[in-house]
A = this chain, B = another copy of it.
Amino acid sequence: MKPLETCTIGIVGLGLMGGAIALALRSQGIIGTTGHILAYDRNHETLAAAQAEGIIDAGIRSPASMLGHCDLVFLCLTPTTLLRFMESQMAAFQPGTLITDIAGIKGSIVAAMEHTLREDLDFIPGHPMAGSELGGFVHAKHCTFHGKNYILTPLKRNKPENLALLKTLIYRMGFGRITETSPQEHDRKIAFTSQLCHVIAAALVDCEDDTEITRFGGGSFEDLTRIAMLNAPMWTELFIENQEELVQRIEQFEGSLDRLKSYIAHRAGPELEQRLQRVRERRAAMV
Residues on A facing B (Cβ under 8 Å): 128-131, 148-149, 151, 177, 179, 186, 189-190, 192-194, 196-209, 211, 213-221, 223-230, 232-233, 235-237, 239-240, 243, 246-247, 249-257, 259-261, 264-265, 267, 269, 272-280, 282-287
Contacts and interface: CB of A to CB of B under 8 A. Distances in A.
Given A149-B216, A204-B200, A243-B265, A283 B225 contact: yes
Contacts of A214: 149, 193, 286-287
A102 to B, nearest CB: 11
B218 A194 contact: yes
A185 B267 CA distance: 22
A274 to B, nearest CB: 8
Contacts of A224: 197, 200-201, 223-224
A280 B230 contact: yes
B250 A261 contact: yes
Contacts of A226: 223
Contact of A199 (B216, B240, B250, B260): B260
Given A193-B213, A219-B129, A221-B192, A206 B264 contact: no
Contacts of A205: 279, 282-283, 286
A283 to B, nearest CB: 4
A163 B259 CA distance: 42
A37 to B, nearest CB: 24
B240 A250 contact: no
Nearest to A240: B267
Interface centre among A196, A233, A257, A269 (most CB of B within 10 A): A257
A223 B219 CA distance: 10
A177 B215 contact: yes
Given A216-B151, A264-B246, A276 B230 contact: yes
Given A202-B260, A206-B259, A264-B239, A213 B189 contact: yes
A282 B220 contact: no
A227 B217 contact: no
Nearest to A262: B247
A227 B223 contact: yes
Contact of A280 (B197, B204, B232, B267): B232
A142 to B, nearest CB: 12
Contacts of A259: 203, 206
A230 B247 CA distance: 27
